[in-house]
Chains A and B, each alone.
Chain A
Amino acid sequence: RLRKWQERIRTKDAGERNLQFALSEIDRMASALGVPRSVREVASVIYRRALKEDLIRGRSIEGVATSALYAACRKEGIPRSLEEISEVSRVERKEIGRTYRYISQELGLEMRPVDPKKYVPRFCSELELSEEVQTKANEIIEKTAEEGLLSGKSPTGYAAAAIYAASLLCNEKKTQREVADVAQVTEVTIRNRYQEQIEAMGIHG
């Protein structure tokens, strides 16, 4: 009898320790990413729900914690790409992606695809581009996405191309390399998306 009781305490303590570890990891990663406190709270809620629904079995605590943070950033409208998230996590990109898809499905998070416009303010400020460029980039994204150009394309690459195009149009040119570095995509991707976007916008230049 005593043994069972001690075991319960042991598991309870272990579970408590694991939860504390997960929450401190979320805090550490959130700080490294510079996201507001509200995002950490949303991530914590998602993590606790995953724990309650027993979704952590067969997965690492770190992987679920990182995925919860990725989901929280998206839910709060300030997405970070898997590439950016993986830079502050000890879990590799592929594992974060598959764990995110799993918890998102199981918890019924009903996450909408990321809107590329959500990346515009952050990328533009890192590039020190004006408000005018941001507005222009948003216009390009809005208009070309309506025409169906966005289907299947990565949101970061799409945003990067629109920002590159907008910087040219507003005479605040940034090179493809500069934009690519901030968005963490290749110049090839920017070139491909840029060509499609300017063609759809009817711009020549």
Chain B
Amino acid sequence: MTDPKDTINIENVVASTGIGQELDLQSVAMDLEGADYDPEQFPGLVYRTQNPKSAALIFRSGKIVCTGAKSTDDVHESLRIVFDKLRELQIQVNEDPEIVVQNIVTSADLGRNLNLNAIAIGLGLENIEYEPEQFPGLVYRLDEPEVVALLFGSGKLVITGGKKPEDAEHAVDKIVSRLEDLGLLE
């Protein structure tokens, strides 16, 4: 009996920050190796870090979005690399800019197959979205924590929309007890 909480894995962390300085993205794009900048397509410049792996979207305003990291520590490490790269280009970067985690994507495994049809009825059709013709996962929105869960027939699930790693744990707990109450986790 594996506790589903022990199967939780953070797959992606999205965070935002800012260097407190406006940027000339055209010149940053020239000087920064591996930078992708196409203002016609998107106003942000894309810069990828290898270790840890992530993608940073850098904007003219100096605000930055970091995505793709596997932990909040990796987000800080990735952004530290981005800040240092910008400093190498003689750009002033605040000492340690505030980094705000905006979204954490997690996967987990309930360890049993799920009858999504029964779960759709059990959780209440008004509380879920399940359209297997369009997507195999059942979409379940929780109020507390405020996250969205995707449940699959295999018993695997995805939790997204949370801002703290604990959000996913609480969500898994609630989902497990809800399904147990309904007698649908067997």
Cβ of A153 under 8 Å from chain B: yes
- Contact A113/B126 with A148-B153, A151-B153 known, Cβ cut-off 8 Å: no
Give A2 Cβ to nearest chain B Cβ, in Å: 46
The interface centre, meaning the residue of B120, B126, B131, B152 with most chain A CB atoms within 10 A of its CB, is B131
Per DSSP, chain A at the interface is loop
- Which residues of B sit under 8 angstroms from A108, Cβ to Cβ? 126
- Contact A110/B133 with A148-B153, A151-B114, A152-B116 known, Cβ cut-off 8 Å: no
- Which residues of B sit under 8 angstroms from A151, Cβ to Cβ? 113-117, 132, 136, 152-153
Give A140 Cβ to nearest chain B Cβ, in Å: 17
State the total of A-B contacts with C-beta under 8 angstroms.
56
Once bound together, how far apart are the Cα atoms of A205 and B106, in whole Å?
42
Once bound together, how far apart are the Cα atoms of A82 and B134, in whole Å?
9
Residue of B nearest to A83 (CB): B133
Cβ of A114 under 8 Å from chain B: yes
Among the listed B117, B120, B121, B131, which residue makes an inter-chain contact with A97, where contact means beta carbons less than 8 Å apart?
B131
| Complex contact B125–A156 (CB within 8 A) | no
Once bound together, how far apart are the Cα atoms of A113 and B126, in whole Å?
13
Within 8 A of B (CB), among A68-114: 81-82, 97, 101, 105, 108, 110-114
Residue of B nearest to A149 (CB): B153
Question: How many chain-B residues does the 8 Å CB contact rule pick out?
Answer: 19
- Contact A152/B136 with A108-B126, A113-B120 known, Cβ cut-off 8 Å: yes
Once bound together, how far apart are the Cα atoms of A81 and B131, in whole Å?
12
Cβ of B137 under 8 Å from chain A: yes
- Which residues of A sit under 8 angstroms from B153, Cβ to Cβ? 148, 151-153
Among the listed B129, B133, B152, which residue makes an inter-chain contact with A114, where contact means beta carbons less than 8 Å apart?
B133
Among the listed A105, A112, A148, A155, which residue makes an inter-chain contact with B133, where contact means beta carbons less than 8 Å apart?
A155
Among the listed A105, A113, A148, which residue makes an inter-chain contact with B132, where contact means beta carbons less than 8 Å apart?
A113
Cβ of A154 under 8 Å from chain B: yes
- Which residues of A sit under 8 angstroms from B115, Cβ to Cβ? 148, 151
Cβ of A51 under 8 Å from chain B: no
| Complex contact B137–A152 (CB within 8 A) | yes
Within 8 A of B (CB), among A130-168: 145, 148, 150-156
- Contact A152/B133 with A112-B125, A113-B117 known, Cβ cut-off 8 Å: no
Cβ of B130 under 8 Å from chain A: yes
B binding-site residues for A, Cβ under 8 Å: 113-117, 120-121, 125-126, 129-134, 136-137, 152-153
A binding-site residues for B, Cβ under 8 Å: 81-82, 97, 101, 105, 108, 110-114, 145, 148, 150-156
